[in-house]
Amino acid sequence: MRLDERYINGLMIAGLLALPLWALVADQPFTITLMTRAVILALAAVGLNIVLGIGGMVSFGHAAFFGIGGYAMGILAYHAQTYTALDLGAFTTEGTKFMPVIWLVAMITSGLAASFIGLLSLRTSGVYFIMITLAFGQMFFYFAISWAQYGGEDGLSIYVRNDFPGLNTLMPIQFYGICFALLCLVLALFARLQASPFGLALNATRQAAVRVETVGLNPMRLKLLAFVLSGAITGLAGALFADLNRFVSPTMFSWQLSGELIVLIVIGGVGRLMGPVIGACVYVALEHFLGEITDFWHVYLGVILLCIVLFGRGGLIGLLTGKEGAHV
């Protein structure tokens, strides 16, 4: 079977539109919630795919940005729901329950964190980079655990989902719509980026950094920019994820989550536009259906993953299109 990647992409988008509508008609709100989870995880993984897929940087610490996005939402909404002032030194605010502002704050803070982590860890490459990003992720994890003001280990509960003008976000289908629209926006950005001079240069950095330098570009600057953009997108996903669960806790920073984000991309296909989306849908489906059969579904996930790594190069998209690499 040899399918064109564009057909697969189109089918995926159509499925993500049609299935929730079916679930709405069939009165299956839980299916919509599951799909919202898949779409948000996909969004986080699309962010990671910029550095991992295009730039070839294996970041094992993207949970840091996911968590920062989550806590940005948690802290702003917590102050808004308890009517307490949030003292930021230069000025105080009362927090907010307004989604666009929360998203913006989540993206800026996680982008800032990404520039800090990136500046330090991009000095290295290969295995060092993997371990250092992992270690920075853990740093945020332990910080969140000891941050007693915002719940420490127990996390923060937000009682009512935040608002978006003109929509009732408490209805699963409307919140799904928001997440889906954001995913489409970011996918469009990813596609544009991949074809842009910046994306091409980044891609070239992955393949031959020395050549990129010889033609007068600065690989470090390219990588750092990609890292910051990637962190900001993953942070946005974190804010949405927190809104989906109406709960943030240090587990959003856990290293397992960083690993899972990489897994999503690899299941679908590294560097592919829709790789993370397919990966996230498969992952959430596996989690749901295998989780119903056995409590130990991670064993099966592990075996599936091993098989993908050892035998199935190119992920599901690679399998369907018959092309191993995304960059052929």
Partner 1 sequence: MSSILIIEQILNGLQFGVMLFLMAAGLTLIFGVMGLINLAHGSLYMVGAFAAAAVAGATGSFLLALVAALAAAALAGAIVEMVVIRRLYKAPHLDQVLATFALILIFSEGTRWVFGSFPLFLDIPDALSGPVTLPGGIEYPLYRLTLIGIGLAVAVGLWALIERTRLGIRIRAGENDREMIAALGVDISKLYTLVFALGAALAGLAGALVGAIQSVQVGMGEPVLILAFVVIVIGGIGSVRGAFIGALLVGLTDTLGGVFLPELFKLFMDNGAAQKTGSALASMGIYVLMGLVLIWRPTGLFGARA
Using CB under 8 A, list all residues that contact partner 1.
Answer: 52, 58, 60, 120-121, 123-128, 130-132, 134-136, 138-139, 142-143, 145-149, 255, 259, 262-263, 266, 270, 296-299, 301-303, 305-306, 308-310
The token pair at 262 is: 């990489």
Contact 120, 61 (CB under 8 A): no
Give the C-alpha separation, 48 to 230, whole Å: 6
Measured from the CB atom, the residue of 77 and 261 that comes closer to partner 1 is 261
The token pair at 58 is: 């294996």
Measured from the CB atom, the residue of 136 and 190 that comes closer to partner 1 is 136
Measured from the CB atom, the residue of 240 and 326 that comes closer to partner 1 is 326
Give the C-alpha separation, 251 to 265, whole Å: 20
What minimum distance in Å lies between the beta carbon of 270 and partner 1?
7
Give the C-alpha separation, 308 to 42, whole Å: 19
Q: Virtual CA dihedral for 85, 175, 13, 17, nearest 10 degrees?
A: -170
What minimum distance in Å lies between the beta carbon of 124 and partner 1?
5
Measured from the CB atom, the residue of 181 and 309 that comes closer to partner 1 is 309
List residues bridging with 92 in a β-sheet: 87
Measured from the CB atom, the residue of 123 and 221 that comes closer to partner 1 is 123
Measured from the CB atom, the residue of 58 and 112 that comes closer to partner 1 is 58
Give the C-alpha separation, 315 to 297, whole Å: 20
Give the C-alpha separation, 267 to 283, whole Å: 8
What minimum distance in Å lies between the beta carbon of 195 and partner 1?
23
What minimum distance in Å lies between the beta carbon of 300 and partner 1?
9
Measured from the CB atom, the residue of 51 and 240 that comes closer to partner 1 is 51
The burial of 215, by beta-carbon neighbours within 10 Å (0-12 exposed, 13-18 middle, 19 or more buried), is given as exposed
What minimum distance in Å lies between the beta carbon of 302 and partner 1?
3
Per the rule left: phi > 0, alpha: psi between -120 and 50, beta: everything else, 271 is left
Measured from the CB atom, the residue of 138 and 157 that comes closer to partner 1 is 138
The token pair at 323 is: 């092309």
What minimum distance in Å lies between the beta carbon of 58 and partner 1?
5
Task: Mark out the alpha helices in 122-154 (DSSP H runs).
Answer: 126-146
Give the C-alpha separation, 103 to 43, whole Å: 13
What angle separates helix 275-293 from helix 297-310, to the nearest 10 degrees? 140
What minimum distance in Å lies between the beta carbon of 134 and partner 1?
6
Q: Virtual CA dihedral for 40, 109, 259, 282, nearest 10 degrees?
A: 10
The token pair at 41 is: 């995880």
What minimum distance in Å lies between the beta carbon of 295 and partner 1?
8
